[in-house]
Structure 1
Amino acid sequence: MVTLADSLVSSSARRLQLRMRPDLTAQQQRYLGQLYWVVKEPVGLKYFRFQEEEYAILQMLDGQTSLDEIKVEFESRFPPQKITVEELGQFVGMLHRSGLVIANVSGQGEQLSKRRTERAWKEFFGSASNILAMRFKGIDPDRILNWLYPKVRWFFTVPALIICLLFALSALLLVLVQFDTFHNKLPTFHQFFEAKNWIYLGITLAVTKVIHEFGHGLSCKHFGGECHEMGVMLLVLTPCLYCNVSDSWMLPNKYHRAAIGAAGMYVEVVIASICTYLWWFSEPGMLHQLALSTMFVCSVSTLIFNANPLLRYDGYYILSDLAEIPNMRQKASTILSRKLGSWCLGLEEPDDPFLPQRNQALFALYTVASSIYKWFILFGILFFLYKVLEPYDLKIVSQMLAIFSMSSLIGMPLYKVGKFFYVPGRLHQVKSKNIYVTLSILAAVVAFIAFVPLPYRVICPLELRPRGAESVYVHVPGILEEIAVEPGQKVEKDQPLGRLYSPELDLEINELEGQVAQEELRVKVVNSEWSTYSDRSAAIALPALIESLKATKEQLERRKRDRRHLALVAPTSGTVLPSPSVPEQPTLEGRELATWSGSPLQEENLGAYLEPPTVFCQIGDPTQWQADIVIDQDYYEFLEEGQDVEIMFDLLPGKIYSTKIEDIGPEMEFASRQLSSKGGGDLMVAQDSTGAERPISTSYQAYAEIHDDSGVLMQGLRGTAKVDARWQPLGKRLWRWVMRTFNFRL
């Protein structure tokens, strides 16, 4: 309570009713050659970094000292530095807002409640702005970590680190040395991310991230830190744990802090290395799929997210510790905003001793690169979810996530800009010359994006097939007994190509021949009875017997004709071309033989059972090919005959074929197995009631001729076509993308 004597004394000379919280702990550290104090607030688990002079002021707040006394004490302890009472008041206010001091006055509960509400709303908006990685506070894991640490202490020793890194290097060398085999064993994108594998990916992501976070917590224990917060995090819609190891900031050794930041990646690298060997040596099955999922999750998350300093994950904190720049992202953003304010608005840059004074351009570029990479990762995740969910008509999920994520990324900067100009007198500080130049540049950029047409390429999947070739079909099922030609061999019309053998057909022909003989004999007997004895019953039965004999002979002739069709001959003169390769099918349990694979011309398929309408081979010109290009309906209007096309095949990545669109066909009804997502292609398909595969999206086919004298092209090659379509402004492309992506059908 303020007395009359107190009211007659200046405010700076009155006793300051604030004192330093007794539960705060502090650790002296050195950053860039200067001494600092890191203060830990144990209730909210917040950490603050103060210079030695600032920490001294905090210690002077004992509830009995006035601002004037603090000023005198400060200037006597840190000559020749000077400080004003106003500066002291601002600093003490910051300490009070940060919760580092206690006020010995009434009415503090209302202020603390208001501050807590503001902090809760801030955390809520922060979580909403990052919907793909939302955190929810949980338990204090200190007891769990204390129980677990003695059992895994060895894992964080130097010998264990060396052994684990050598083991990871061996797994990497295995992949590099056997890269071709490794690549061939990998499933396609759609095979890996099909619905039946979602459970594997979800379990893998959840388990690996839990172990990752325990790696952080246990390493923090190993180096003498504490961990008092572990909660649930939704990472790309998958529940897993997070571990708050902010207590590592209390450690004086920067390399120990960096090691704690890298511990999670260290654990994931070891897991990925183990799973590399498990996947390599295991047969297809649940273990095989789990190992592959773990390899993918650990490697991709480590490279793209955790190790990258552009995102605020492990790599960022490691770089911040090693560079000895706490709050590096915040300082870099402040530097960029100050530079933009100076260049675009003409605002003067106030002195800030806490910002880095050297290499400020690099910090500004870091902020720009970080923002671009964040947008890139967000688009990548949303596009990934869109592609995975599209075949199951769940695009609405990815679209809703995109709306929430995009609105937060766009809305937050707009809110900050509005808050910046909301400060009274801020608009009067803006220089008109700078703002006019800035608006002119922005208008020019917008006009360029909206109106200036630029080259536009449409990317489409394609399949290669011989141009004008005639297919040799299997018309009658049988066992492949003989292959008389090989790919690339020249043949003449009616030249034998191969022969099938059908025991069932031979048996049926023998039975029909016997039946014909019996019926002929019966007709002869009945006819004799009629001629000799004028048997009236024989006269009645004879026409039916003759008709039955005729039908049996016709059936016998058809089956003999089928037997002749077992001999496969060339329908025209030309070169033998292999048919599209048939993928290998796994042997089903309970069967002794697997279905044939590859091309029927391969010797290992001798003895295979071929059914109609299998293509045995094709006869054509090996230098003339045709690319069947699939055009999605969204791009159909931009393509026309005569446009230039660049074609690159998946198996020939270094070779580009230039050609033109010759013809654009009608709407596709069915999709080829090679192009369909189920066959490893990029065309999304769905099966109809008859079992046929149809494109999910309305698609059309275009045709382009390819001339090849090298002889490297083959039937069924998949590839990508880049069609030079009509020029379009960037703005129109972006608008079309938005309208296509966010097309909600209610």
Structure 2
Amino acid sequence: MKESHFSPNWYRVANLKLCLRNHVEIHRQQMRGRTWYVLQDAQSGKYFRVSPAVRDIIQRLDGRASIDDIWQAAAARLGKEQPTQSEVIELIAQLYRADLIRGDVPPDMDELVHRAGTQARQRFLSRYKNPLALRFPLLDPDRFLNRIMPVFRPLFTYWGALLLVVLGITGVVLAVLNFTALTSNLSDRVLSRDNLILMLLLYPVIKGLHEMGHAIAAKAFGGEVHEIGIMLLVFMPVPYVDASAASAFRSRWQRAAVGAAGIAVEFLLAVLALLVWLQAEPGLVRAAAFNVIIIGGVSTLLFNGNPLLRFDGYYVLSDLLAIPNLASRSNRYLMYLIKTRLFSLPNQENPAHSRGEQRWFIFYGIASFVYRLFITITIALFIATRFFFIGVLLACFSLYMALLKPTFNALRYLLFAPSLGQQRARVQMISATLLVTLLAALFYLPAPYSTRTEGVLSMGQQAQVVAGASGFVARVVQESGSEVQAGDDLIVLEDLELASTLELLEAQLQEFTASYRGVNLFDKVQADILNQQIARTRARLDYFRQRQQQLSLTAASTGQLVIPAVDELPGRFLEEGTVAAYVLPAAVREVDVVVGSDRVSLVSDGTLQVEVRVEGAVDRVIPARIIRQTPSSLERLPSHVLTARGGGTIAVDPEAASTLAPLGSYYLFTLALDEPVEQRLVEGRVYVRFVHQALPLGRQWLLVIRQTFLRLLNV
């Protein structure tokens, strides 16, 4: 041991004669070639993992030998692995707090009552200390599970595993083959009001089956399950079961199987739902199947199946790697590196026992912290957008647990940790220097600052061939892909009703004109009436003749004619205002760009230069400048290319009548290109970068946080 074997407080425990309580069992496990032992408290359902040296001390607590005798005898058996007196004192305190030992001290009823009350309060607080995940135990399902086990036990054989593998492969293949259909317009389908209600109804049911998978797997390998209840996860009721009995299983594969059972259940539900989704007609059943696919896939990927959070995936990974307490030991190893490599503190215990564990600890410690912080902030913002006052309080609590509390712990360590001793001043100086350097780098050194967005090549209004009047396509005059000149006829429409109206008006005009000539010299009053009728008829005739002229679609500019679906055009009815074709100019000099409301002021007032890259030729940077900006937010996007369904990044509002209505608030900027771009496609996509004045990274992050907060909360 690196620290002193002796403790000045040893006299307090040296003569105690202690023994384990009757409800404590010890289980042996193998982890990466090392032997570990698990203490099972059958009364409280808790499990404690200890090293062989600690187990050697614990198993000799028989009530006859004193603590000092046990410790002295351990020296001959354990050698260098013998725990120090301070470690033994800490061990006894932990066993005492967990109510795992009893001794020859005269019983103190007040102390016993106090310990019982303390344990009850700890159990209560453990359920309710996190307001984002409140637990309410309901009943003991062990007898029910015993009755249904004959039905599910075949699944825990080789044939059952083979069936699950076959179904899994089938589901993955079908998902890949139908990936486009599954993900097409995904955000619009998921965010619709009716779909969100259906998802909220399905989620607790799926999670209930998930938890039953854990319980059945634990029973299949000989464990017991004595608690089932409801947990409010971000205010959503979901079932849970206590399958912690798996912690005592000797085989790591059995422990991993229990942890993976819930993931397997959700994956199996997603596969079955995919089969239903492929066969069902559009309706409630198909919508429900789609939501099961989303819940079973997304929640497993982001939460339960993700080993970076301490859910099912974490325990599966920990068991498969044979690294117990992976999360806590990763954090301890990172602290060990800081203490030894940064602070150069001597006599520090390395929690890693091999190079393999060191690599895993570094990766997992950093990755889990980053991912946990990301998920925490996402959930916090989600709560704040739905429940403003309470949500903001819970969001602050979540951020405190993720960021502020670790910071306070670090400060407390630097100021009061006894282990620093005479090294405290040096460690504080190193920490202060690093902090000042980091703050200077974040808030003083300038860094590139820009806004990136997408847009489309603007062909201008003259490039669109729009039907001026409604009618059926009689003939296509020019071929698609041909070069046309301004004024050339392109498409001719016909409207039989309009033609009949024109013939009738011409006949009426002739009749009124003839009658006027007959009465003009004899009846002035009747002549004036006929003259007014003639004027009205001529006005109507001019209007409908103009409408007839609009049935001929002509080119407004010179360029290449592009007619979408030209083979289906003859005989097709075109409503007034429909874009029937495009006349692409030889070169484009304008770009339409959309910018979110959170960045519109910065782009409008703080842009130093604009860089444009055209899709298909992104290696070429084209300078541009802003020439126009819409004063109000867009009701319709300028092109389908910018929507999520068209390959862009903007989600459209599923409740809006228009398929181009954005879900958020966006503004339109028109850019003038300094260099012309050859027109390749109708509404070709461009990538735009607005360059702003350089800002330190810290200020950039603060601006992003502020803009995100204002955008999500509509403040």
Match of 2:545 in 1: 560
Aligned equivalents of 2:68 and 2:372: distance in 1? 48
Match of 1:699 in 2: 667
Match of 1:7 in 2: none
SS at match of 1:543: helix
Single out whichever of 552-561 and 397-406 deviates more from structure 2: 397-406
AA aligned to 1:617 is A
Contact residue 347 and residue 429 of structure 1 kept, 8 A:
no
Alignment of 1:315-714 (within 5 A): 315-351=313-349, 356=353, 358-359=355-356, 361-362=358-359, 363-379=361-377, 402-421=395-414, 423=416, 425-426=418-419, 428-466=421-459, 469-520=462-513, 522-523=515-516, 526-527=519-520, 531=522, 538-578=523-563, 599=564, 602-624=566-588, 626-635=590-599, 636-638=601-603, 643-647=609-613, 649=615, 655=618, 658-669=621-632, 670-673=634-637, 674=639, 682=649, 697=665, 699-705=667-673, 707-709=676-678, 712-714=680-682
SS at match of 1:721: strand
Is 1:143 the equivalent of 2:143?
yes
SS at match of 2:531: helix
Aligned equivalents of 2:41 and 2:651: distance in 1? 55
Question: CA 1:689/1:260 → structure 2, altered by over 3 Å: closer, same or farther?
Answer: closer
SS at match of 1:205: helix
SS at match of 1:356: coil
Question: CA 1:740/1:11 → structure 2, altered by over 3 Å: closer, same or farther?
Answer: closer
Alignment partner for residue 243 of structure 1, among 231, 241, 244?
241
Single out whichever of 449-458 and 201-210 deviates more from structure 2: 201-210
Aligned equivalents of 1:419 and 1:117: distance in 2? 26
Aligned equivalents of 1:487 and 1:67: distance in 2? 96
Question: CA 1:398/1:289 → structure 2, altered by over 3 Å: closer, same or farther?
Answer: farther
Aligned equivalents of 1:445 and 1:75: distance in 2? 48
Aligned equivalents of 2:508 and 2:495: distance in 1? 20
Aligned equivalents of 1:122 and 1:296: distance in 2? 31
AA aligned to 2:611 is V
AA aligned to 1:740 is Q
Question: CA 1:219/1:238 → structure 2, altered by over 3 Å: closer, same or farther?
Answer: same
SS at match of 1:430: helix
Alignment of 1:110-129 (within 5 A): 110-117=114-121, 120-121=124-125, 124-125=128-129, 127-128=130-131
Contact residue 380 and residue 398 of structure 2 kept, 8 A:
no
Alignment partner for residue 722 of structure 1, among 662, 665, 689?
689
Single out whichever of 342-351 and 607-616 deviates more from structure 2: 342-351
Aligned equivalents of 1:611 and 1:685: distance in 2? 24
Question: CA 1:442/1:543 → structure 2, altered by over 3 Å: closer, same or farther?
Answer: same
Match of 1:3 in 2: none
Q: CA deviation at 1:274?
A: 2.5
The C-alpha deviation readout for 1:451-498, integer Å capped at 9, x for no partner, is: 111122212232333257443322212223323334432112332211
Single out whichever of 311-320 and 429-438 deviates more from structure 2: 429-438
Question: CA 1:557/1:93 → structure 2, altered by over 3 Å: closer, same or farther?
Answer: closer
Aligned equivalents of 2:185 and 2:482: distance in 1? 34
The C-alpha deviation readout for 1:35-89, integer Å capped at 9, x for no partner, is: 4432211232210223455445445445555435545776788799867877654
In structure 1, runs of 5+ residues without a counterpart are: 1-9, 532-537, 579-598
The C-alpha deviation readout for 1:232-266, integer Å capped at 9, x for no partner, is: 23445533222322111221111111111111222
The C-alpha deviation readout for 1:569-618, integer Å capped at 9, x for no partner, is: 2233322245xxxxxxxxxxxxxxxxxxxx4x533244333222222223
Question: CA 1:73/1:453 → structure 2, altered by over 3 Å: closer, same or farther?
Answer: closer
Aligned equivalents of 1:123 and 1:336: distance in 2? 29
Contact residue 642 and residue 660 of structure 1 kept, 8 A:
no
Alignment partner for residue 735 of structure 1, among 684, 702, 714?
702
Aligned equivalents of 1:385 and 1:191: distance in 2? 22
Match of 1:105 in 2: 107
Question: CA 1:84/1:745 → structure 2, altered by over 3 Å: closer, same or farther?
Answer: closer
Aligned equivalents of 2:493 and 2:590: distance in 1? 30
Single out whichever of 331-340 and 698-707 deviates more from structure 2: 698-707
Q: CA deviation at 1:229?
A: 2.4
Contact residue 664 and residue 702 of structure 1 kept, 8 A:
yes
Question: CA 1:641/1:379 → structure 2, altered by over 3 Å: closer, same or farther?
Answer: closer
SS at match of 1:663: strand
Aligned equivalents of 1:694 and 1:668: distance in 2? 17
Question: CA 1:150/1:647 → structure 2, altered by over 3 Å: closer, same or farther?
Answer: farther
In structure 2, runs of 5+ residues without a counterpart are: 1-10
Contact residue 671 and residue 695 of structure 1 kept, 8 A:
no
Aligned equivalents of 1:193 and 1:155: distance in 2? 37
Aligned equivalents of 2:490 and 2:389: distance in 1? 53
Name the Cα RMSD after superposition.
3.8
Q: CA deviation at 1:335?
A: 2.1
Aligned length: 690
Contact residue 352 and residue 358 of structure 2 kept, 8 A:
no
Aligned equivalents of 2:377 and 2:88: distance in 1? 47
SS at match of 1:463: strand
Match of 1:29 in 2: 29
Match of 2:187 in 1: 189
Alignment of 1:79-228 (within 5 A): 88-102=88-102, 105-106=107-108, 107-117=111-121, 120-121=124-125, 124-125=128-129, 127-128=130-131, 131=132, 135-177=135-177, 181-182=180-181, 186-228=184-226
Aligned equivalents of 1:283 and 1:688: distance in 2? 22
Contact residue 276 and residue 292 of structure 1 kept, 8 A:
yes
Aligned equivalents of 1:440 and 1:116: distance in 2? 46
Single out whichever of 278-287 and 99-108 deviates more from structure 2: 278-287
Aligned equivalents of 2:541 and 2:510: distance in 1? 12
TM-score by length of structure 2 reads 0.84
Question: CA 1:722/1:120 → structure 2, altered by over 3 Å: closer, same or farther?
Answer: farther
Match of 1:301 in 2: 299
TM-score by length of structure 1 reads 0.81
Give the percent of matched residue pairs that are identical in Structure 1 and Structure 2: 25
Q: CA deviation at 1:371?
A: 0.9
Q: CA deviation at 1:683?
A: 5.0
Contact residue 562 and residue 581 of structure 2 kept, 8 A:
yes
Q: CA deviation at 1:431?
A: 4.4
The C-alpha deviation readout for 1:615-661, integer Å capped at 9, x for no partner, is: 22233414426321123454333566772424365xx6x85552222
Aligned equivalents of 1:604 and 1:233: distance in 2? 57
Aligned equivalents of 2:437 and 2:207: distance in 1? 46
Contact residue 613 and residue 619 of structure 2 kept, 8 A:
yes
Question: CA 1:382/1:72 → structure 2, altered by over 3 Å: closer, same or farther?
Answer: closer
Q: CA deviation at 1:551?
A: 0.9
